[in-house]
């Protein structure tokens, strides 16, 4: 197996994480989701999560950002991402749904149909089939795993470093009668506990961007994939138009990072190099955001209602408009003040909104893609 670079990894402490989850989230994993779950949090534990996450971003600007700032984030990549999802998961479910990713859109296709098609497309590119043993790297609350399990009849293991998301994913799998096909495992994808050559196929949907270095996570995926197996990923990457010496470009990148729990986002060239360096034979790579689609991938987070294909989508997309965000975030602040919502709810929502604005700006300037497709095969020898 090709060697991968030595990368400083955070020491795992599953007991600590499980205890924190129990204190912060209680039994909210079994709540309906979104606001219902959000209001069940422990205020003191949530404040710890807020402090641990935002210490890496508060008072940090693109103009003044240093390499040391970025290294501090990558050094604590797992804690940063874990606390981001402690704070953001319920807001994601409320505002977007249970599949935490973007997608392409077609005329006459509803929002959730498009989300599912994006997942089906990746499964088809990889060649996932019935009874295959498949790994979902960074599985969120299990929305894509449930969809791909139903689409392919494969058995899917979801890997996740956030205990609360694992609880919610497990809850949904039982609810949907899929617990025989799905299981969810706690772990850091930079240091997986699975034996070598464990899986027939592996996929990741907009999750490995949380890695401190892509070669590290891709190397672990290569290790646990069986020889001849295929790995497919939708990666978040800065395009080759990105210029790190341009302050405006850095500001857009930093907005995306702070709003999405990312320690170190890199360019397309670096992503491709990482796949090749760990040993994958690249079968296909393409920026799907560059396809000549009739509507842009970012239209829902931009609140561009003219692209709406179904009246039912209105209730999802209207919450993304700037007017709705101001109202909802102001309401969150009121709930915090009267003690009905935990402290940090508004700050988290504001960071997510800043991230969304950064995503839209990055897309419009052709600086960023959330769907750089890479499909690689592990050689048989």
Domain membership flag for residue 359: no
Instruction: Identify the pLDDT of residue 167.
Output: 96
Give the Cα separation of 125 and 279 in Å (integer): 19
E strands in 206-263: 225-238
Instruction: Identify the pLDDT of residue 188.
Output: 98
The H or E element containing residue 351 is helix 345-364
Domain membership flag for residue 149: yes
Q: How confident is the model at residue 37 (pLDDT cuts 50, 70, 90)?
A: confident
pLDDT above 90: residue 318 = no
Domain membership flag for residue 337: no
Instruction: Identify the pLDDT of residue 6.
Output: 60
Q: Which residues contact 64 (CB under 8 A, 6 or more apart)?
A: none
Mean pLDDT, range 22-28, rounded to an integer: 92
In sequence order, the β-bridge partners of residue 287 are 372
Give the Cα separation of 51 and 337 in Å (integer): 18
Residue with tokens 């915090």: 336
pLDDT tens profile 48-85? 999 999 999 998 899 988 889 899 999 999 999 999 99
pLDDT tens profile 191-206? 999 999 999 999 999 9
Evaluate whether 340 touches 210 at the Cβ level (below 8 Å).
no
pLDDT above 90: residue 127 = yes
The proportion of the chain whose per-residue pLDDT surpasses 90, expressed as a percent, equals 77
Instruction: Identify the pLDDT of residue 34.
Output: 67
Q: How confident is the model at residue 95 (pLDDT cuts 50, 70, 90)?
A: confident
Domain membership flag for residue 154: yes
Domain membership flag for residue 259: yes
Q: How confident is the model at residue 36 (pLDDT cuts 50, 70, 90)?
A: confident
- Give me the CATH number covering residue 175: 3.40.50.150
Domain membership flag for residue 267: yes
Nearest 10 degrees: CA dihedral of 286, 291, 352, 27?
A: -70
Mean pLDDT of the chain: 93
Domain count, the chain: 1
Answer left, alpha or beta for residue 98, where phi above 0 means left and psi between -120 and 50 means alpha.
alpha
Q: How confident is the model at residue 40 (pLDDT cuts 50, 70, 90)?
A: confident
Q: Is the pTM of this model over 0.85?
A: yes
Domain membership flag for residue 114: no
Domain membership flag for residue 104: no
Residue 193 belongs to domain spanning: 129-288+365-378
């Amino acid at each position: 197996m090709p060697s991968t670079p030595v990368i400083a990894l955070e020491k795992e402490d599953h007991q600590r994480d499980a205890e924190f989850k129990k204190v912060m989230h209680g039994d909210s994993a079994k709540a309906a989701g979104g606001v219902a779950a959000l209001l069940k949090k422990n205020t003191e534990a949530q404040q710890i999560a807020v402090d641990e996450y935002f210490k890496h971003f508060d008072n940090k600007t693109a103009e003044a950002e240093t390499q040391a700032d970025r290294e501090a984030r990558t050094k604590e990549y797992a804690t940063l991402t874990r606390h981001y999802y402690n704070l953001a998961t319920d807001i994601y479910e409320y505002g977007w749904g249970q599949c935490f990713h973007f997608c392409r859109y077609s005329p006459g296709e509803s929002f959730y149909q498009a989300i599912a098609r994006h997942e089906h497309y990746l499964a088809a590119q990889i060649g996932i089939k019935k009874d295959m043993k498949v790994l979902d790297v960074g599985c969120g609350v299990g929305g894509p795993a449930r969809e791909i399990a139903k689409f392919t009849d494969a058995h899917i293991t979801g890997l996740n470093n956030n205990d609360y998301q694992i609880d919610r994913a497990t809850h949904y799998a039982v609810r949907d009668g899929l617990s025989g096909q799905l299981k969810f495992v706690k772990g850091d994808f930079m240091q997986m506990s699975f034996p070598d050559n464990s899986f027939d196929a592996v996929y990741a949907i907009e999750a490995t961007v949380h890695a401190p270095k892509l070669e590290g996570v891709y190397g672990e995926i290569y290790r646990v994939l069986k020889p001849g197996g295929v790995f497919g990923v939708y990666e978040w990457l800065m395009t080759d138009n990105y210029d790190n010496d341009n302050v405006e470009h850095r500001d857009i990148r930093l907005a995306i990072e702070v709003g999405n729990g990312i320690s170190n986002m890199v360019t397309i060239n670096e992503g491709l190099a990482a796949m090749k360096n760990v040993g994958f034979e690249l079968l296909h790579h393409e920026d799907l955001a560059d396809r000549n689609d009739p509507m842009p991938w970012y239209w829902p987070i931009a609140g561009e209602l003219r692209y709406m294909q179904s009246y039912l989508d209105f209730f999802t997309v209207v919450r993304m408009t700037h007017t709705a965000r101001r109202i909802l975030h102001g309401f969150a602040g009121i709930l915090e003040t009267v003690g009905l919502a935990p402290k940090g709810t508004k700050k988290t929502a504001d960071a997510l909104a800043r991230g969304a604005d950064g995503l839209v700006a990055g897309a419009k300037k052709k600086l960023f893609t959330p769907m750089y497709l890479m499909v690689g095969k592990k050689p048989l020898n």
